[in-house]
Structure 1
């Protein structure tokens, strides 16, 4: 079956691109001298997690216990503050798998008896994490099984990474003076992966988006269009309003997160179009004609920037989503194949596993 024959909207993954992305990140980690512990919240699919493990990943990272309960890997890091009501499920998981948890408070650390813990450090992102070396030491002292530290660099630039390195140095020195050895320094993110050597203390990284990439990755020049393994097939359903067309995919198909630094929703393949607004089932698209239209903004006559004809009802178009992780979580099923053919589909096993 040709992927263009899928009923829309539909998510489709090119296996050749997916496998190349997995292999490339694994090789980069070898070059940087760090282990790879991918964040599986991006895809939430057991088969893809297994591909990452088979390629050399040391384990997986999850955001919530629910993800770990349905995804493979015998070494799991829960990269989220866990409170006491979650502990029975966490301890049940720890009976059959090696489990680590990131913590940033003394109270939570005290509750995690017999669970390996990493103290989270805020390196400038201001989301979670200890704010000072002294606070990090206090949390480590409350841990029964302290293993190291955890940081999230998000979209920090090079200067931010250099500042983060100084903060991590200070924390590690304070921990050493207090008698703690940080065996693990866990960092990473897809936007920050290439800057890993700027924090040489790092022992492992946790990128997630790299398996698929997305329009935000593309806008930030982290990848090229050919590296975007997941695309959404959509159909033009209306051209009635001058200067726009509407596709059959809105905020129930795409994440409502806009492309970082751009402010649009997704990247169109083969069409110089811009999507600036979403309703639940409608995507509002500007087709960008080269010639002005007598009908106001945009237009449906004349030549278009991509050299193609005006959008037509029934036309199918591929879109790379702005935020792939949140987009995947909206879907029960993802189709996959090679060279534009459909070979099968995956159930998104960890969809909605937010507890």
Structure 2
């Protein structure tokens, strides 16, 4: 494979640096939106992957219906470029719900919830702010992270929202995060999810409750979204850059990865090993979802190398299976296992365009935990 990061690797001033290849980003965006148009489904991408106004604008330019965020701080940033924001998180503490209510004065804000408590406190916050917050009822479709258990439980919460004068019942939220099967084996689990959603939608209709939005999806299931006919929009995040999770699971090829960490070999004193200046503060400690023994990422220049251990500033790499070894001072390119937290560890990334120009770009919502 041609290393698209080679020129950036040799040109960056300091390491470790996260480089984003813009032509690959554009190809990833175009591919998803072409599929979504063919499948007649809307895209509301999750911005937790890039946390950047620049990339949010590119997603909107391709036709995204709005944006997804995890935290209110991210919503406040992304509301500068979109007036339609979904907070895919039960944001219920006093400060966050106050800020959501304020933001709802000027933007269409949707919040995913799975409790009567969340409905009560968000309704109170919106009432105090004289605003209207849209609510999506979160249904657990198998990820077992959040969400009510079944259609009947979703109906009870939907009724509570419908009674509120400061909340708007916008529909259903779900997350198929448990589905990591190869694309050709996803039809059955996704159809099961569709049946569960359809049961809830039917029950809502019987009770004259609207369900204009059914929001779901993930990067692993993105291109099989047509198997869930009940959903109206998908929220993939990682697809814009991809990473070794999506590569090793078979959802993309290595050449579809738009992001790499450029780092420097700082030691080869231990036989068979090299140490780079990228540890947990750069690569994170995430193992590969399906192949945890493959290490903490992929070294493009040395495919047989294994990143065996990370500490805060040190990345230890086993080069013993490689025909050649790097020298101290050499630079290498690492595709992370999980790109989203890697971006969040950077104040800025370096953009690499088709003409090999390198431009720093701010990570606008970096570190926004509330």
Q: What is the TM-score when the length of structure 2 is the normalising length? A: 0.88
Q: Is the CA contact (8 Å cut-off) linking 2:142 and 2:178 kept in structure 1?
A: no
The 1:126–1:109 alpha-carbon spacing in structure 2 relative to 1, beyond 3 Å, is same
Q: Is the CA contact (8 Å cut-off) linking 1:2 and 1:342 kept in structure 2?
A: no
Counterpart in the other structure of 1:323: 338
Residues 197-234 of structure 1 show CA distances to partners (whole Å, capped at 9, x for unaligned) of: 11111100000001100011110111111110011001
Residue from 332, 347, 352 that aligns with 2:362: 347
Instruction: Specify the SS of the correspondent of 2:46.
Output: coil
Residue from 280, 301, 315 that aligns with 1:270: 301
Residue from 88, 99, 104 that aligns with 1:79: 88
Counterpart in the other structure of 1:299: none
How many residue pairs get aligned? The number is 338
Instruction: Specify the SS of the correspondent of 2:170.
Output: strand
Residues 68-97 of structure 1 show CA distances to partners (whole Å, capped at 9, x for unaligned) of: 111221100010002151222111111111
Alignment of 1:1-355 (within 5 A): 2-3=7-8, 4-6=10-12, 7-71=14-78, 72-85=81-94, 86-113=96-123, 114-143=132-161, 144=164, 145-156=168-179, 157=181, 158=186, 159-263=188-292, 264-272=295-303, 273-289=305-321, 304=322, 307=323, 309-339=324-354, 341-355=356-370
Q: What is the TM-score when the length of structure 1 is the normalising length? A: 0.92
Query: What CA distance in whole angstroms lies between the structure 1 residues aligned with 2:27 and 2:134?
Result: 33
State the shift of 1:35 in Å.
0.4
- The structure whose residues are more often helix, as a share, is 2
State the shift of 1:341 in Å.
2.6
Counterpart in the other structure of 2:129: none
Q: What root-mean-square deviation, in Å, do the aligned CA atoms of Structure 1 and Structure 2 show?
A: 1.5
State the shift of 1:115 in Å.
1.0
Residues 126-185 of structure 1 show CA distances to partners (whole Å, capped at 9, x for unaligned) of: 000011211101110111311110110114142332221221122112212222121111
Structure 2: tracts of 5 or more residues without a match: 1-5, 124-131
Query: What CA distance in whole angstroms lies between the structure 1 residues aligned with 2:300 and 2:118?
Result: 46
Query: What CA distance in whole angstroms lies between the structure 1 residues aligned with 2:269 and 2:73?
Result: 44
Instruction: Specify the SS of the correspondent of 1:195.
Output: helix
